[in-house]
Chain A
Amino acid sequence: MSAPSTSRAAAGQGPAEPVLEVRDLSVTFGTRRGRAPVVVGLDLTVGAGETVAVVGESGSGKSVSMLAVVGLLPTPPAVVEGSVRLAGEEVLGAGAERLREMRGREVGMVFQDPMTSLNPVLTIGRQLTEGLEERLGMGRREARERAAEMLDLVGIREPQRRLDEYPHQFSGGMRQRVMIALGLSLDPKVLIADEPTTALDVTTQAQILDLVQDLQSRLGTAVVWVSHDLGVVAGIADRVLVMYSGEVVEEAGIDALFAAPRHPYTRGLLGALPVLGRARTELATIAGLPPDPLDRPPGCWFRPRCPSRLDDRCASMHPPLHDVAPGHRVRSFYEVSG
């Protein structure tokens, strides 16, 4: 694993070509009640070795957009438009064969539920070596050695022995480590992790977060971390995109987002978190629920729930994303400061 990583780490020092570039991504689902735009106009750029977090609640479109990025959405009923460039190559519209090739090698994926992502009737070793043999053309023994290395890399003890065990013999946290090993096994340029720690205990989650950070610095992989939990991403992300009802409402560097959130939704999310050590005052809430994608209000989609509403345009015009500071964009007609 050493050769590719050093070259990538070296490449990450100069102005690097982004490993993932998403432009104006839209995903629309055909439903009985009409066409539902679940993701609207998403822009996302991930540089080599960077960690970008995509944060949102249910209905934000965060998971759907990632599935669209790797071409895993069934295309009817989904309609995907826009551009997704993985290491410079366009993904949308690429043939099924090319997509298959790219998955694993260019982009690795880790999903939320390790129980259903692993095949229960195959040993862990088999699931790891399968990809190595088929995709990298390795021999059986070489693949097995590499698989053991990977298990060791993700912190699983006695890797040789555990290669011959089945998923049900692993705990949830260990299975997620295996998923990460699988995701990284073909040395992809970017790893997309969709809520990988949501189903795990807090202590396990902390370990997985630390592990991913560790692997990242060693292998130079970029990471897109999708989560609903701002606390989780605080420790690992370089940049954050906050999504609401299918679109990005705020994008900023991690420190800037937490120190000075500009969009009322972001502030609401941060205010709603009970924080260890903070006084037991009433939590800030965001009244109401996200809109039905088939029935969004005119103007700003967040307006019915917005506590601020300082601008008359909110009711009639849809606010665009605009820069409020270098590297900090907000979808709002006014700025909430302070």
Chain B
Amino acid sequence: MTVGGVPDSGPEQPGADAGPETEPGTPPAQASQRRQVLRALLSHKLAVFGLVVLALLLVVGVFGNTLAPYGPNELDVPNRLTGPSAQHPFGTDELGRDVLSRVMVAARLSLLVGAVAVGIALTLGVTLGLVAGFYGRWVDDAVMRVMDVLFAFPAILLAIAIVAVLGPNVVNAMIAIGIVYTPIFARVTRASVLTVREEVYVRAARSIGVGDLRLLRLHILPNVAAPIIVQTSLSLAFAILSETALSFLGLGVQPPDPSWGRMLFEGRGFVQQAWWMGVFPGAAIFLTVLAFNVVGDALRDALDPRQRSAIEARAGVSS
């Protein structure tokens, strides 16, 4: 007979096969959660493609200025409007500027705008969602009604309106896009918080005296992280697309700084003579948005089955 139940390497279990530290049959220590997610992510072929594209994008974004063969505004008038060639793999535009270099430098700006905008949306949205979901009642109503109003506007229109008020430049474009995508983060966060708030471990934390702030920080936020991460990736795609639209309309990145959206705009007039002016920036936009979307979906799957198997473990897979 054993008291307490756990055999030490003592007389209760002479010659026990199990090591002194573990009861026989204890579930094996598992690879850290991060590694599991990574493994799940990498098993998705499409996701790998997306990650490769994003990695490429990151490299270009950071080192674009140095990697680009020409300056973005370097004029080569005699060679204007020439098609893809050895010296200009993406051709030249109407001022003789190298399209490849412009696309690369523009990448930096697009990423920057996207990242900052989503950063704003994330910070504001998650905070609002946490507060609304956690405190509920009138706080929830007040916050979410405001979010609903913002949601009611088509994203681009709202962004245009905000930029129109603030003035057309890059920083205001970031702010505008950030505001436009705040509601989705608030909603996603709030939905998760509503569930997590009712979990037993939250009640258990309260029972030992944990206060609201600590509860939000250590117990609720980490457990609503997954959908927020997925949303971040998806929102990055949309944010970049929004930046493109704003720049197309002249409301975002201002010339002479290159931006994909602006390049599309400039390429409009030359569709017949110089298709490369519009096609390459367009392809870049397409690939980037696709990559973020694909990675976002894959992240959702990678983070989900883990939760699914955790739920199975909790329910005790019956045999």
B12 contacts A by Cβ under 8 Å: yes
For residues 283 through 319 of chain B, which have their beta carbon under 8 Å from a beta carbon of chain A?
316-319
Q: How far is the CB of B223 from chain A (nearest CB, A)?
A: 25
B58 contacts A by Cβ under 8 Å: no
Q: How far is the CB of A325 from chain B (nearest CB, A)?
A: 27
Q: How many residues in A have their beta carbons less than 8 Å from beta carbons of B?
A: 26
Which B residues are CB-close (under 8 A) to A64?
A: 319
How distant is the Cα of A60 from the Cα of B304 in the complex, in angstroms? 28
A62 contacts B by Cβ under 8 Å: yes
Which A residues are CB-close (under 8 A) to B1?
A: 282, 284-285, 307
Which A residues are CB-close (under 8 A) to B318?
A: 58, 63, 112, 195
A85 contacts B by Cβ under 8 Å: no
**Most chain-A CB neighbours within 10 Å: which of B12, B18, B27?**
B18
Given A282-B3, A304-B16, A304-B17, are A288 and B316 also a contact pair (CB < 8 Å)?
A: no
- Interface of chain B: mostly helix, strand, loop or mixed: loop
Q: Are B24 and A288 in contact (CB under 8 A)?
A: yes
A146 contacts B by Cβ under 8 Å: no
How distant is the Cα of A135 from the Cα of B270 in the complex, in angstroms? 71
Cβ-defined partner of B5 (8 Å) among A285, A292, A297:
A285
Q: How many residues in B have their beta carbons less than 8 Å from beta carbons of A?
A: 21
How distant is the Cα of A246 from the Cα of B316 in the complex, in angstroms? 16
Q: How far is the CB of A7 from chain B (nearest CB, A)?
A: 36
A61 contacts B by Cβ under 8 Å: yes
Cβ-defined partner of A58 (8 Å) among B2, B12, B23, B319:
B319
How distant is the Cα of A289 from the Cα of B28 in the complex, in angstroms? 12
Q: Are B319 and A63 in contact (CB under 8 A)?
A: yes
Q: Are B5 and A304 in contact (CB under 8 A)?
A: no
Which B residues are CB-close (under 8 A) to A38?
A: 319
B123 contacts A by Cβ under 8 Å: no
How distant is the Cα of A289 from the Cα of B319 in the complex, in angstroms? 15
Cβ-defined partner of A287 (8 Å) among B5, B17, B28:
B5
B26 contacts A by Cβ under 8 Å: yes
Q: Which residue of B lies closest to A243 (CB)?
A: B319
Which B residues are CB-close (under 8 A) to A62?
A: 319
A162 contacts B by Cβ under 8 Å: no
Per-residue CB contact flags for chain B residues 1-34 toward chain A (1 = under 8 Å, else 0) read 1110111000011001110000111111000000
Q: Closest 9 A-B residue pairs measured CB to CB?
A: A289-B25, A304-B24, A287-B2, A288-B24, A288-B23, A63-B318, A61-B319, A291-B25, A64-B319
A residues neighboring B (CB under 8 Å): 38, 56, 58-64, 112, 195, 246, 282, 284-285, 287-292, 297, 303-305, 307
| Known contacts A58-B319, A112-B318, A304-B18; 14 further A-B pairs (Cβ under 8 A) | A58-B318, A60-B319, A62-B319, A282-B1, A285-B1, A285-B2, A285-B5, A288-B7, A289-B24, A291-B24, A292-B28, A297-B17, A304-B24, A307-B1
B residues neighboring A (CB under 8 Å): 1-3, 5-7, 12-13, 16-18, 23-28, 316-319
Can you name 29 A-B pairs with beta carbons within 8 Å? A58-B318, A59-B319, A60-B319, A61-B319, A62-B319, A63-B319, A112-B318, A195-B318, A282-B1, A284-B1, A285-B2, A287-B6, A287-B23, A288-B5, A288-B7, A288-B18, A288-B23, A288-B25, A289-B26, A291-B25, A292-B25, A297-B17, A297-B24, A304-B16, A304-B17, A304-B18, A304-B24, A305-B24, A307-B1
